Each structure stands twice: as structure tokens, then as C-alpha cells.
């Protein structure tokens, strides 16, 4: 893609980022939040754990779009599709430009990927991708706030609580969720409180614990 590819998003090699990956699975558009890293050689590396639909799809070598988004609801709907069964009506897709993969219409920017290498480990795979298209969208500047980042963190911790079976590790994520929720309640505006309520309801549903962690 050239020397300036990473500068478009100010992507720092080695740093961990979050995005919503979209791809085709059995001819249907699918989306899920995923972490990724960029290498010095402008490759993208995605780590996916086994026994998931994402693992099944990406190990087939499908193209992927990384949807860059700050809207927490996109992360919530695509993380808990079994709860938000109407997610396909909320999240609309359109075709990618240079890849055979869908992208989310209301994302803010896109990185299009084609796989080059799959490395299998015991319980996960690491997939390396070439960046074949990068679409930064309209520039958007906003002063730093902990609000959006911590809302997205709480959603990620919820997925860990859902998926992790180790009791000690699950408790670790519960404490991290509690800290993030505390910061969210202090820093977010009322327009986002409905998302916070949804997160708390999902926590209760996952754990059976009616007392949501963290001070109020």
C-alpha cells in the first residue's frame, strides 16, 4: 500500500486496536468485534480463538473488512447477536470496494484485508493479512474523553465473562468490568445511559447476579 498507509489512521506498529470485522459466512454478511495489530511491514495480524463461527469463517481464507467505529451500539449488537436477534435490521451492510466482503454502512472508516498466512496454535489461530484498501472517511476531531473507550471496554469484558470458563480469570474480568463501569458512569453523557443500562442487563443475564459490580 505504500509508506504512508499507516499514517492515514495513525496506526502504530505493535499496538493493539479494536474494530468490528465483517466478512461473509456461508454467503451471509457477518460481523464481530476483533482485536488486531499492524506490523512494521504493514501487515495486519488477527488472533481468533477456536470453537467460534469467526474461527470457522476466517480459517477458510475469506476477505475481511475492519470497520472503524466509535458507536458503542455497533460493538454491543455484534458482540451479542444471540440477544439482539434484530441486529441485521439495525446494522446495514454494503459491498467492499477491493475485497469480497461486506462493510458496515454506518462505520466511520474501513480497512480492507486479504489473507496471506494462517498460523495454527493449540486453541487459536493467527492470521496475517495484506492491506488492500484503506478508506478513512471524513476527519473527526474530538477532545479526549474516557467515556467511549471505557464503554467499549465494558462490552469486551462482557464477552470475556461470557466465554471464559476459568473461575479465577472470569473474576478478573468481572473486576475489570466493574472499574470500567465506574468510569463510564462518571464520564459519559446521558445520551449514552441507555447503552450502559443494556450492558448492566446483559451482565445480569450472563451471571444471574442482580447486583451489577461497581459503586454508583
My answer on whether 49 and 99 are in the same domain is yes
**Domain edge (last residue) among 72, 102, 135:** 135
My answer on whether 124 and 193 are in the same domain is no
My answer on whether 127 and 55 are in the same domain is yes
- pLDDT confidence of residue 137: 77
- pLDDT confidence of residue 188: 92
Q: Residue 216 pLDDT > 50, yes or no?
A: no
In a domain, 203, yes or no: yes
Note down the domain range covering 152. 146-207
Q: Which of 56-60, 148-152, 163-167 has the lowest mean pLDDT?
A: 163-167
CATH number of residue 129's parent domain: 2.30.110.10
What is the domain count for the chain? 2
> Residues 12-38: pLDDT tens digits?
899 999 999 999 998 999 999 999 999
- pLDDT confidence of residue 212: 63
Indicate the average pLDDT of the chain: 88
In 66-164, alpha helices (H)? 72-79, 87-90, 146-163
Distances (CA, A) of 159 to 84, 87, 154, 169: 14, 17, 9, 13
CB neighbour list of residue 88: distance below 8 Å, 6 or more residues apart: 29
CA 93, chain centre distance (Å): 16
Which of the two residues, 214 and 147, has the higher pLDDT score? 147
How large is the angle between the packed helices 167-187 and 146-163, nearest 10 degrees? Answer: 160
The number of C-alpha atoms within 13 Å of 134 and in the hemisphere containing its C-beta is 16
Q: Residue 146 pLDDT > 90, yes or no?
A: no
Coil, helix or strand for 210?
Answer: coil
In a domain, 117, yes or no: yes
**CA separation for the pair 203, 73 (Å, rounded):** 16
Amino acid at each position: 500500500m505504500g509508506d504512508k498507509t499507516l499514517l492515514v489512521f495513525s496506526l502504530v506498529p505493535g499496538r493493539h486496536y479494536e474494530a468490528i470485522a465483517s466478512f461473509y459466512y456461508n454467503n451471509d454478511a457477518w460481523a464481530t468485534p476483533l482485536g488486531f495489530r499492524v506490523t512494521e511491514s504493514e501487515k495486519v495480524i488477527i488472533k481468533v480463538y477456536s470453537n467460534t463461527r469467526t474461527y470457522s469463517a476466517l480459517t477458510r481464507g475469506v476477505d475481511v473488512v475492519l470497520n472503524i467505529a466509535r458507536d458503542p451500539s455497533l460493538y454491543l449488537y455484534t458482540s451479542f447477536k444471540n440477544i439482539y436477534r434484530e441486529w441485521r435490521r439495525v446494522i446495514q451492510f454494503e459491498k467492499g470496494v477491493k475485497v469480497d466482503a461486506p462493510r458496515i454502512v454506518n462505520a466511520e472508516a474501513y480497512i480492507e484485508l486479504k489473507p496471506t498466512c494462517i498460523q495454527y496454535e493449540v486453541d487459536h489461530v493467527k492470521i496475517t493479512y495484506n492491506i488492500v484498501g484503506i478508506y478513512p472517511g471524513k476527519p473527526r476531531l474530538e477532545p479526549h474523553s474516557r467515556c467511549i473507550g471505557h464503554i467499549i471496554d465494558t462490552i469486551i469484558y462482557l464477552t470475556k465473562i461470557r466465554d471464559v470458563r476459568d473461575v479465577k480469570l472470569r473474576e478478573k474480568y468481572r473486576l475489570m468490568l466493574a472499574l470500567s463501569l465506574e468510569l463510564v458512569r462518571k464520564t459519559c453523557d446521558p445520551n449514552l445511559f441507555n447503552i450502559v443500562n443494556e450492558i448492566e442487563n446483559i451482565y445480569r443475564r450472563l451471571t444471574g447476579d442482580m447486583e451489577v459490580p461497581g459503586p454508583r
